[in-house]
Structure 1
């Protein structure tokens, strides 16, 4: 497995694979089995698999969150090599941004809801760094996890609107045995918080049960708020019920369409997100 920290080295190495299929998994490191599942899917379907590891400063609204984000490059590379990854691109912020980007990307409605609403400018940072990575790696296929469902919608819009010649593949969320969605941020949870964290998924499944029983989304949100009164350790940021395709709010579940329940909550000073689609 090759590890590069400059754009020039990475591009020069990948030029020799122009006639091969390249699969790409962009990450911010602190890898877990969810990331490795994406790598393994790429390895199975492509001649070459590339993983980027870059904690992108332009997508963080909270400087403290950026500072605390786990960085475990050596451990990550060991996991990637064992999973069959071929190339790791792990640049510094100075390498990716010799000058701060002046361009601004706006993803319309997606900027105004959920992550867009609570983290203004976040998706501009995501869009710019992913566009840069696509241009550096030039993949045929790219792999993302469904846990970041709104990010998936943003990247899908980026690919379509900027005509990137690649296929975007979205993979199911990988969960711990107790239902907690795997996330790099889970490392920051105290033992007590980690024991409580599966309540997030429990509240998503509660929402599904109530919607399938015919309750309105407003009724469901009210009952979920009551659910969290039993667990004051959580600070619920949002709990939204949307159409899966558009991520627009809906008033009730339509059996003919897929519904997404999406949540963000703070627990023990750590912000966690998750979703459930049915």
Structure 2
């Protein structure tokens, strides 16, 4: 037997291997409908809760001059929908943390290391699968918002930009959550660690304007990653054109999160699990 045949990556085909791992991830999503429905169910529940329970009152606060009640709910639906779309993205990213922990703790990831598989595909395939699931969840939530009366002013170019932007955000947060999943000692821990990401829309401009917050909270809300992401999403949906500095900040945060998550995840993958 030659040395080449003993090398795990010998004969690896990065593109083909990544597509295989992508297919594996999507099949797993189909076989575990509970995890998949959680990705969509939580954003839907939040949308219904905040619009129909709090929207009548909150709408008067986010849109001055709007009376509480039906008009307030309509105004708040327009305001909150971008934040709920981000919840769909984070929910999908949280699911990849769980699947990464499942692979790591079950030993299948260690088995992949001994096979002629491209190392990048073992993590890259699930990330791409998560992007697909995240965008599907976004479409479901957006369809519900439209059914409830959400009327975006976005034009064709705005929709195209929004699709690309949300794909980038999902891709970036997925790499971060993969790394979080690989650090977890158990699947249960992996399901809880990324939940801190779900707090960021609440502590940003997702549910109320940052101008209404106390100064200390407002400072955090203005400079945390999700606020520029939400504001860019909101402007694209409204068709008003996002502010250039806000968009650059959102893209910068997404790139930073994606690169750090990728480097962290790759380092953890190379490390022997103890």
Q: What is the TM-score of this pair, normalised by structure 1?
A: 0.25
Greater relative contact order: 1 or 2 (C-alpha under 8 angstroms, separation 6 or more)? Answer: 2
User: More strand per residue: 1 or 2?
Assistant: 1
Q: Which has the larger radius of gyration?
A: 2
Higher helix share goes to which structure? 2
TM-score normalized by the length of structure 2: 0.26
